[in-house]
C-alpha cells in the first residue's frame, strides 16, 4: 500500500538531497521555524514568555541558533525578563531554573516524527533511492533510528549503506593523515581536506560542529 505523502515525507526527501545528516538538518530547520515564529509574533506573548521564563531560557545550542537571527530587540526583551526574574529572588540566594528548553521540545517532536516514518517511507522507490545516495545519518541519529526499523530487509540495507559511508570517510581520513606527512605534503588536497571536520560531525551532528561559541 502506498504511503501517504504529506509534508513530513517531502521534508525528509528534501533534506536527503542536502549534505550531512538529514535528521540534523530537519532538527535545525524546525528550530529555525520556531525562532522565526517566536521573534515575529511570540516574543511579547505572555504565555510564551511565562513558559520560557519557567525553563530558565534556551539551552546552549539553541541560544547559538537565537544569535543567528541577530534580532537585538527580541533578545533584549527575552533576557531582560530572565534577568529580572533572577534579581527578584531573595537577595541571599539565586533560584537558577533548569527546565526544558522550549526550542528543544519543538526539535525533539519533529525529530521523533521523522524517525518513526523512515521505515514506511523507505518502501517508496523515490525515497529509498534518495537515502541510498545521501551522506547517511550521524551516529547519534543512527542510534535512535535503528531500533525503530522492524523489517530485516530494510535494516540490512540501512546498515550496509551506513557502513559504506563510514568506510569512505575512513579512507579520506587516512588520506588526510598521509598528506600531513612531510613526504607527501606538496600533493594537492582533494575531498579529504575537511574529512576531520566531517568525522566529528558524523558522530555528534553537523550543528554541534558548526555551533557558534558563546
**Separation CA 62–CA 101 (nearest Å):** 8
Question: Domain ranges in the chain?
Answer: 7-210
C-alpha–C-alpha distance, residues 175 and 192, integer Å: 6
Per-position b or e across 36-51, b if 16+ CB within 10 A of its CB = eebbeebbeeeebbee
Query: What pTM did the predictor assign?
Result: 0.80
pLDDT in tens, the chain (214 residues): 567 788 899 999 999 999 889 999 999 999 999 999 888 877 777 777 777 888 888 998 999 999 999 999 999 988 888 888 778 765 555 556 667 888 998 999 999 999 999 999 999 999 999 999 999 999 999 999 999 999 999 999 999 999 999 999 999 999 999 998 889 888 999 999 999 999 999 998 866 555 443 4
Report the pLDDT value the prediction gives residue 92, as an integer from 0 to 100. Answer: 56
Q: What is the largest CA-CA distance in the chain?
A: 66
Q: Please tell me the predicted confidence (pLDDT) of residue 118.
A: 96
Q: Which three cell numbers stand for residue 45?
A: 506573548
Amino acid at each position: 500500500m502506498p504511503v501517504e505523502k504529506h509534508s513530513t515525507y517531502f521534508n525528509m526527501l528534501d533534506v536527503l538531497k542536502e549534505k550531512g545528516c538529514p535528521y540534523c538538518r530537519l532538527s535545525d530547520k524546525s528550530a529555525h521555524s520556531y525562532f522565526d515564529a517566536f521573534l515575529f509574533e511570540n516574543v511579547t506573548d505572555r504565555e510564551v514568555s511565562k513558559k520560557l521564563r519557567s525553563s530558565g531560557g534556551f539551552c546552549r545550542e539553541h541560544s547559538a541558533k537565537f544569535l543567528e537571527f541577530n534580532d537585538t530587540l527580541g533578545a533584549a526583551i527575552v533576557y531582560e525578563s530572565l534577568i529580572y526574574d533572577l534579581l527578584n529572588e531573595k537577595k541571599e540566594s539565586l533560584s537558577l531554573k533548569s527546565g526544558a528548553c522550549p526550542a528543544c521540545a519543538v526539535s525533539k517532536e519533529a525529530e521523533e516524527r521523522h524517525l518513526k516514518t523512515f521505515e514506511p517511507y523507505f518502501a517508496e522507490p523515490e525515497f529509498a533511492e534518495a537515502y541510498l545516495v545521501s551522506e547517511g545519518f550521524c551516529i547519534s541519529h543512527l542510534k535512535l533510528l535503528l531500533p525503530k526499523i522492524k523489517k530485516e530487509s530494510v535494516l540490512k540495507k540501512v546498515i550496509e549503506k551506513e557502513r559504506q559511508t563510514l568506510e569512505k570517510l575512513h579512507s579520506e581520513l587516512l588520506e588526510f593523515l598521509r598528506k600531513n606527512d612531510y613526504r607527501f605534503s606538496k600533493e594537492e588536497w582533494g575531498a579529504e581536506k575537511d574529512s576531520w571536520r566531517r568525522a566529528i560531525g558524523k558522530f555528534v551532528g553537523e550543528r554541534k560542529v558548526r555551533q557558534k561559541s558563546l
